Amino acid sequence: MGLPGTHNYVTVFGTWLDTDGNGLSGTVTFEPTVPLTDPTNDFFIRPVVTTVALSSAGVISISLLATDDATIEPKGWGYNVTEVIDGVTTKYVILVAYSNGSVQNLATLH
C-alpha cells in the first residue's frame, strides 16, 4: 500500500557476490533518516525500518519513497542503510532521487 496522494517511488536493487561469482547471504535494511511529513496532503509519515533478505543469487530489490519527492518534507532526507552480508555489517546513508531514474543500483548510490 502506498501513501495517499501522488508520490514518486524508486526501485533499488543490488547484488552481492564472492570472488567466484557466487551469491552471498545476508540482509539489507533501509530506514528514513528523519521523520517525514507531507504538508500538501496533510499527514505525517512515521519512519519504518524495512529489511530485505538476499536471494540465493545474492540479489535484493525494493521499492522506496523517492528522497526528492516534491511534497515530502524536510528536503534533503535520505535512508540509513545497514548491510549484514556473511556476518559483516556495513552502514551508510543514501539519497534515492527519482530525478536519477525510477530504477537504481545500490552499488552506484553507496
Q: Is the pTM of this model over 0.85?
A: yes
Spatial contact of 110 and 92, defined as CB atoms under 8 Å apart = yes
Q: What is the pLDDT of residue 2?
A: 67
Residue 71 zone, left/alpha/beta (φ > 0; ψ -120 to 50; rest): alpha
pLDDT tens per residue, range 81-97: 999 999 999 999 999 99
pLDDT tens per residue, range 70-81: 999 999 999 999
Spatial contact of 29 and 18, defined as CB atoms under 8 Å apart = no
- Model confidence at 6, in pLDDT bands (50, 70, 90)? confident
Q: 56 φ, ψ to 5°?
A: -65, -20
> Any idea which fold 9-109 has?
Immunoglobulin-like (2.60.40)
SS3 content of the chain, % helix, strand, coil (to 5): 5, 45, 45
Q: How far apart are CA 105 and CA 9, in angstroms?
A: 14
pLDDT tens per residue, range 19-52: 999 999 999 999 999 999 999 888 888 888 999 9
Cα–Cα–Cα angle for 110, 49, 84, rounded to 5 degrees: 50
